[in-house]
Structure 1
Amino acid sequence: MIKGFSIRRGLRVLAAGCALAVLAGFGTCSAPAKADTTPPAAFNAPQPPVIMPAPSTLQTDGSAFALPARWQVIWQSPPTPLLTRAVQRFANRMSIVAGQTVSVENAGKDKNTFPIHIQYAREATFPAPTMREDYTLDVGPDGITLTAQGPAGVLHGLASLVQLVRREATGPVMAQAHIQDSPRFTWRGLMLDVSRHFMSIPTVERQIDAMEMVKLNVLHLHLSDGAAFRVESRHYPRLQKISSHGQYYTQAEIRNLVRYAADRGIRIVPEFDTPGHSFAMLLAYPQYASVLPMNTTDRAEINRAALDPTNPATYTFVRGLYAEMSALFPDPVFHIGGDEVVAKQWTLTPRIAHYMQAHHFATPADLQASFTNRVAQMLKADGKTVMGWDEILAASVPPHTIIESWRGPANTAKAAEAGLPVVVSGPYYLDRLLPASAYYETDPLDTRKDAAEAQAAAQTTGPGGTIATPTDTKPEAPVPPLTEQQKTLILGAEGALWTEVVDEDMLDARLWPRMAAVAERFWSTPQNCVPQTLYGRLAVTRDKLDLLGLKSREDADTLLDRLAAGETQVPRVLLSAVSPIRNYAHNHEFLQIRHKQTATEQDLNTPADIASPDSFEAEKFNAAAVAFVNGKVELRPELERQLTIWAANDAAFNQVAARHAALTPALGASAQLAALARAGLAALGTERTPGWREQARKALESARKDIAASSSIHVVTNTPQPAGDLIQRIVPGVEALVTREGGLTLP
């Protein structure tokens, strides 16, 4: 068992997900496959396997064979302890997914075992930036051959094997397949902010397990910021005594976590943000602050306080701290932050302004460049390569510095033009609460600005919807496509989750399954990233990840039970069709600071904190509505059934909300969902009343307006948001029914 998950519970979850994928009508559930010239005999009716990320080449006709209960590993190359543990983990996962015990042992003389031949090349250092991750799998009823270029390839091949298993009425089966696979990018990361909200070691380990299954290989931990410092320091103990709020990782826990990740082929890159975002450090050691006395009463100050780069003692402090932290993290890359330094921290401080003038620093960026270069030299002495956010590009930085691009493709191009390696994260900020499909549509090499948010708005509003455009910013010049030389400098990309409005109880649901879609974008070639099949495959992958230890739906159920103990079914119906508002509109503190209001800590105990950025029920409905409009008239009963449930739920929701006040912010969203559902029913000819077209138009316009209010960060700043911070996800389907052309004609 993994993390105490029961096989019985997992099978119910898995069966539900597979059924959802079929009902949704999303088409094929695998990457484009090449036909095998000699297909093996089918065990049951062919069914294409779901592997995420999509392999480079998948040859299969969907045939499958009964999953053997007893396996033996035949090592063509002697296994390392790491790989021996990986095989045991593989057996454990296979048992959970199969719903029956699968034992995997080293080769013996028993001929009644199912053989898996594994061959790989050893690597001196693992995991490492240069690790070889290619693998080949041949899977048939007589055995399996896994050939890998290195240990990472073995781990990836085993992860794919788990995904080849499915349950059928006769028992578990494994799909027959030939797979040749290799990653598109060498850096495929997840950035997790544990400063704003602390995440316990078991919670972080759970994310690492999921990362292994979808072939991510870098966990970037944001360990210090204005909110808190999260690692035990023996040289500067006030950091954990004062600045951790009692929640931090001991050095022993960090070492164990690094080993845990390495076992799964995942590097941990630490980030300790300087010289800005340093409020937590300076709360413990204020003598290094730019502005004294520090303002400890204004929450906005958490994001403003900066180190004093003109104080020699500051460098002694940073040198000692970074040396201590470097020793805990063996990875060659060390992230120093460098983002969002508030210039006034330096320019309005007389001693710093005088220093800048005396040393000919024309701008704060020049002063920061001096700081960055000195820190880089310190870390170079410890064998580290510096990584920083793209603000450090404002002035010269040391060669080989890795730039993390978060402020748009212009900065990606600028870094590449300077000959610096780049990791792209801006299009994959999961805390913007966009749906998986929006992130999936954006390629890491895409030079369109805000492509993800535009895609999200278009998908949710449908073809007739209107999207608000920014009115407070000047349009930027388009960024030309990257040259072939520039593309070689793109190491890869990261999905990023900042946790201002995400606590530990919400983490799994805010990361997954969207991170699985992002992982496919980082691993698979563009031609193998097929948006039309995403949600069907993502439903299956989500269920397997939950089965293997994630708590996304379990935590959502717990949170919902807090809001409406004993009466969760009715609010769950509403949450099946809505999502939280986007682009930081749900981050009330962010907007308070932007509007120069008093910043207050946000309560994360509302329906919007439970609602998912993705609604599989809504996606299923929207796809069925479009298919119905295009001639699949047999879908009418299912559409009517679902719309009737949503239409009738509002009356029940009002009754439940009268007994549970925490639900009242969602009353407006409940009424809006009912209005949309009634419009859809009327379009189908059910419960049609006089004036239904006008009522449908008003319902759709209201929903579109709410969606448009959070269509971009710029719009969010100046636009009122819907009550309850919820938007409707069934607008495209209802709109298709109301305005359909061809097929059935409305009387």
Structure 2
Amino acid sequence: MKKLALGLKSLIMFLLIPITLFSQKDVKELSLMPMPENIHLNAGKFVLDKNFTIVLNTNENKLFDAAYRSLKIITDRSGLYVLSQFPLIQPDVKGKGIVINVAEDVKLELGIDESYQLVVSSDKIRIDAPNTFGAMHGLSTLVQLLDSDEGGYYFPCVTIKDKPRFVWRGLMIDISRHFEPIEVMKRNIDAMAAVKMNVLHWHLTDDHGFRIETKSLPKLHELGSDGLYYTHEQIKDVVNYAYERGIRVVPEFDLPGHATAWLVGYPELASAPGPYSIERLWGIFNPTFDPTNEDVYKFLEIFFKEMTELFPDQYWHLGGDENNGKQWNANPKIQEFMKANNLKDNHALQNYFNVRLDKILKKLNKTMVGWYTDEMPDLEKDYIVQAWKGRTTLYETAKKGYRSLISHGFYIDLVQSTEYHYNNDPIPPDSILTDEVKERILGGEATMWAEFVGPETIDSRIWPRTAAIAERLWSPGAVNDLDNMFDRLDQVSLQLETYGLTHIKNYNMMLRRIANNYNIEELKNFVNAVKPLYTYSRDRPHIFKSYYPLTRIVDASLPDPRCARLFNNSVDLFLAKETIDIDNYKKVKSSLEIWKENHERLLPLIKSRPILNEVAPLSEDLSKVAVIGLESLELIKENKKADPLWVTASNEILKAAAIPKGEIEIAILSSIQKLFARANK
């Protein structure tokens, strides 16, 4: 019974959202993400029963399939047995249930009208859209609206008029550094569609792997992939899968740097003699294509022509970042070429290379996208620049006439907070940009670089934070209430599991594997309070290789742990009030008491599982700072003065606890420091 009592005191209170029944919800209580542009909540509800169905005004396949998927999600969540398994086709759009009216079928391309109107009344639901893709967004909103009470499952009566703020709302997934199976790509595409993202930027080549079957140049995938690549059929399958969900696939073939995997099979195209081998370390490497070699352009034209069979979208990304120029500087032939052609530096030489590539792409009816390098490009103005080094480059390229995307502030691989990403508005309210310049800012992309993710962990690094980025790129800039966003995000995160995402369930699975035990309560109490170290700092204690396992505590821990966030919020609320808030006091105290005792309870597992040795000191630090938190809490509550000796000793403990161990850090430490500072006031 004693063990059971301890179990009931676990941090589960921070992992559950209290559910309150409302006779009439407020708009902010709807679990919508992204929040629509215009929404009005009406009285009443549409109650589901066995006669529920979806009626379409067209037999267009994409719409039919989207409606079927939505119907399946609704019935799976509600457990409802409906009489009609499939949507119905009725050109007069009469029927009880959901009626979807689409004006026309259009090609999926940049800038199409993605708007929709959704009206839910007590006896009918209607979605009107100019095309299938707008109707899909309406269905995504409707699925999120599904709710329940003691009377059953229902949709609240609403009137929604919605359209995106930005036309390019993307997610970049790097599958070169760590390869991802097809099922990983598909479940993330489903999740993207659920939050109205519309571009999958697929980073397919880099120093660590060339991931596409290339029949005309077979040594690319045969020698540059370790056997991990997608066949033509698999690529077509994923591209079609995304298209059917309103998502364009933009491939990235990184050039002229990040080119090691290309050059393993074709070293004669490099700027320095080979041989080359696939990179196993992380970093920026020297191998670079030789822009003075005419065979390079013939080779790339053959390659690009074959890729047009796989990637129909107009826009292709050709990388262009992080060319260190060392091979170019050391090659006398290249230096002579630069002098002869008045190319003053490596930036000018790379611009020459890009101009040549742009001509090849234009022959194939493709438009180039590239990462911003260290200087402004000098290309035709249809070129799209992706800004990753700072907001200034986004604005400067737009002012120069280039269309631009922002990824700076959306680097989700860096495991930064949801709040940080959500506040990263491409065009903030105080922007002084002209309307003409604003029009050139197409949107942005979350970027999932893959040094430290594999199939088990990639979902937890992308989601749910990317849903907040999706809202930033879809919803009006005035939608920026952080507390409300987190309330909605917590619910939407649960809903995303419907699409097969593993961002929640793999957390427990990985901890069970580490513990080799069904009982992970103490381990979970610890990991709930920590977070991975900022990614650029992870390679300092170790030299990582691409084949190392991604199964440690740092890999299982979450970038923005919900438990820690809720604890931190409770501390802020407690400290914000002049009088003692007993409810928040009890919440904070309860968690601190658990963390105080947790290290001693976790020690037997640590001693039996060597994989935990590296985090044992941080587990002890957590218990020590919890003690300081409890002592500070009581000093504040009793309005007592802190003993100077206690202050000095506690300061040293807090400083030591701020040092990361095992590439993780204490996510609640800042709140303990706030309590400590108030106790010393």
Give TM-score scaled by structure 2 length: 0.90
Q: State whether structure 2 residue 522 is matched by structure 1 residue 550.
A: no
Note if contact 1:242-1:284 (Cα within 8 Å) is conserved in structure 2.
yes
Q: Which residue of 2 aligns with 1:462?
A: none
CA drift at 1:532: 2.5
Note if contact 2:201-2:249 (Cα within 8 Å) is conserved in structure 1.
yes
Note if contact 1:190-1:218 (Cα within 8 Å) is conserved in structure 2.
yes
Q: Which residue of 1 aligns with 2:330?
A: 348
In 2, distance between residues paired with 1:113 and 1:702?
A: 67
In 2, distance between residues paired with 1:61 and 1:18?
A: 32
In 2, distance between residues paired with 1:112 and 1:548?
A: 30
Q: Which residue of 2 aligns with 1:243?
A: 224
Q: Which residue of 1 aligns with 2:370?
A: 388
Q: Deviations over 1:583-632 (max 9, x none)?
A: 4112459x86xxxxx97865422211111111111111121222223253
- Label 1:702 to 1:322 Cα distance change in 2 as closer, same or farther (>3 A): same
CA drift at 1:562: 2.6
CA drift at 1:145: 1.1
Q: How does 1:239-278 map to 2 (within 5 A)?
A: 239-278=220-259
- Label 1:410 to 1:46 Cα distance change in 2 as closer, same or farther (>3 A): closer
Match of 2:567 among 592, 611, 621: 621
In 2, distance between residues paired with 1:65 and 1:565?
A: 47
Match of 1:286 among 267, 271, 287: 267
Note if contact 2:55-2:87 (Cα within 8 Å) is conserved in structure 1.
no
Note if contact 1:577-1:615 (Cα within 8 Å) is conserved in structure 2.
yes
The code of the aligned residue for 1:726 comes to I
SS in 2 for 1:234: coil
Q: Deviations over 1:475-512 (max 9, x none)?
A: xxxxx853332211001000001001111111111100
In 2, distance between residues paired with 1:209 and 1:160?
A: 14
Note if contact 2:529-2:564 (Cα within 8 Å) is conserved in structure 1.
yes
Q: State whether structure 2 residue 628 is matched by structure 1 residue 682.
A: no
- Label 1:229 to 1:295 Cα distance change in 2 as closer, same or farther (>3 A): closer
In 2, distance between residues paired with 1:178 and 1:735?
A: 46
Match of 2:391 among 395, 400, 409: 409
CA drift at 1:22: 4.0
Q: State whether structure 2 residue 518 is matched by structure 1 residue 580.
A: no
Q: Deviations over 1:686-720 (max 9, x none)?
A: 999975544544444444x44xxxxxxxxxxxxxx
Q: Which residue of 2 aligns with 1:727?
A: 665
SS in 1 for 2:203: strand
Q: Which residue of 2 aligns with 1:46?
A: 25
In 1, distance between residues paired with 2:182 and 2:109?
A: 23
Q: Deviations over 1:538-571 (max 9, x none)?
A: 1111111023321112222232233211043222
- Label 1:547 to 1:74 Cα distance change in 2 as closer, same or farther (>3 A): closer
The code of the aligned residue for 2:492 comes to T
Note if contact 2:179-2:228 (Cα within 8 Å) is conserved in structure 1.
yes
- Label 1:367 to 1:558 Cα distance change in 2 as closer, same or farther (>3 A): same
Note if contact 1:369-1:392 (Cα within 8 Å) is conserved in structure 2.
no
- Label 1:364 to 1:498 Cα distance change in 2 as closer, same or farther (>3 A): same
Q: Deviations over 1:223-257 (max 9, x none)?
A: 00111011110001111111111111110111111
In 2, distance between residues paired with 1:251 and 1:723?
A: 44
Q: Which residue of 1 aligns with 2:305?
A: 323
Note if contact 1:46-1:63 (Cα within 8 Å) is conserved in structure 2.
no
The code of the aligned residue for 2:270 comes to A
Note if contact 2:429-2:477 (Cα within 8 Å) is conserved in structure 1.
no
CA drift at 1:45: 5.4
Note if contact 1:431-1:584 (Cα within 8 Å) is conserved in structure 2.
no
Q: State whether structure 2 residue 16 is matched by structure 1 residue 20.
A: yes
Q: Which residue of 2 aligns with 1:89?
A: 69
CA drift at 1:107: 5.9
In 2, distance between residues paired with 1:69 and 1:294?
A: 67
Q: Which residue of 1 aligns with 2:557?
A: 611
Note if contact 1:71-1:104 (Cα within 8 Å) is conserved in structure 2.
no
SS in 2 for 1:724: coil
- Label 1:200 to 1:299 Cα distance change in 2 as closer, same or farther (>3 A): closer
SS in 2 for 1:528: coil
In 1, distance between residues paired with 2:648 and 2:446?
A: 42
In 1, distance between residues paired with 2:64 and 2:483?
A: 39
CA drift at 1:65: 4.5
Q: How does 1:75-224 map to 2 (within 5 A)?
A: 75=56, 77-102=57-82, 103=85, 105-106=87-88, 114-125=96-107, 127-224=108-205
The code of the aligned residue for 1:619 comes to R
Q: State whether structure 2 residue 321 is matched by structure 1 residue 339.
A: yes
The code of the aligned residue for 1:728 comes to I
Q: Which residue of 2 aligns with 1:465?
A: none
SS in 2 for 1:426: coil
SS in 2 for 1:119: strand
Q: Which residue of 2 aligns with 1:646?
A: 595
Most deviating of 650-659 and 728-737 = 728-737
Note if contact 2:44-2:122 (Cα within 8 Å) is conserved in structure 1.
no
Note if contact 1:209-1:264 (Cα within 8 Å) is conserved in structure 2.
yes
In 2, distance between residues paired with 1:341 and 1:316?
A: 21
- Label 1:119 to 1:338 Cα distance change in 2 as closer, same or farther (>3 A): same
Gaps of 5+ in 2: 1-11
Most deviating of 639-648 and 300-309 = 300-309
The code of the aligned residue for 2:254 comes to D
CA drift at 1:380: 0.5
How much identity, in percent, do the aligned residues show?
A: 31
Q: How does 1:561-576 map to 2 (within 5 A)?
A: 561-566=512-517, 567-576=519-528
The code of the aligned residue for 1:640 comes to K
The code of the aligned residue for 1:646 comes to W
CA drift at 1:328: 0.8
Q: Deviations over 1:104-130 (max 9, x none)?
A: 531689x997422212221431x2112
Q: Larger RCO: Structure 1 or Structure 2 (Cα < 8 Å, ≥ 6 residues apart)?
A: 1
- Label 1:118 to 1:614 Cα distance change in 2 as closer, same or farther (>3 A): same
In 1, distance between residues paired with 2:284 and 2:565?
A: 39
SS in 1 for 2:352: helix
The code of the aligned residue for 1:133 comes to E
CA drift at 1:131: 1.6
The code of the aligned residue for 1:57 comes to N
- RMSD (Å) for aligned C-alpha atoms: 2.9
- Label 1:61 to 1:163 Cα distance change in 2 as closer, same or farther (>3 A): same
In 1, distance between residues paired with 2:13 and 2:485?
A: 13
Note if contact 1:288-1:314 (Cα within 8 Å) is conserved in structure 2.
yes
In 2, distance between residues paired with 1:59 and 1:134?
A: 16
SS in 1 for 2:254: strand
Q: State whether structure 2 residue 583 is matched by structure 1 residue 634.
A: yes
The code of the aligned residue for 1:614 comes to D
Note if contact 2:258-2:284 (Cα within 8 Å) is conserved in structure 1.
yes
The code of the aligned residue for 1:529 comes to N
SS in 2 for 1:488: helix
SS in 2 for 1:173: strand
Q: Which residue of 2 aligns with 1:473?
A: none
Q: Which residue of 2 aligns with 1:461?
A: none
SS in 2 for 1:117: strand
- Label 1:18 to 1:166 Cα distance change in 2 as closer, same or farther (>3 A): farther
Note if contact 1:326-1:334 (Cα within 8 Å) is conserved in structure 2.
no
Q: State whether structure 2 residue 614 is matched by structure 1 residue 665.
A: yes
Match of 2:453 among 502, 515, 521: 502
CA drift at 1:62: 7.8
The code of the aligned residue for 1:46 comes to K
Q: Which residue of 2 aligns with 1:423?
A: 405
The code of the aligned residue for 1:528 comes to V
In 2, distance between residues paired with 1:87 and 1:600?
A: 41
CA drift at 1:325: 1.0
Note if contact 2:172-2:202 (Cα within 8 Å) is conserved in structure 1.
yes
In 1, distance between residues paired with 2:95 and 2:52?
A: 5
- Label 1:367 to 1:96 Cα distance change in 2 as closer, same or farther (>3 A): same
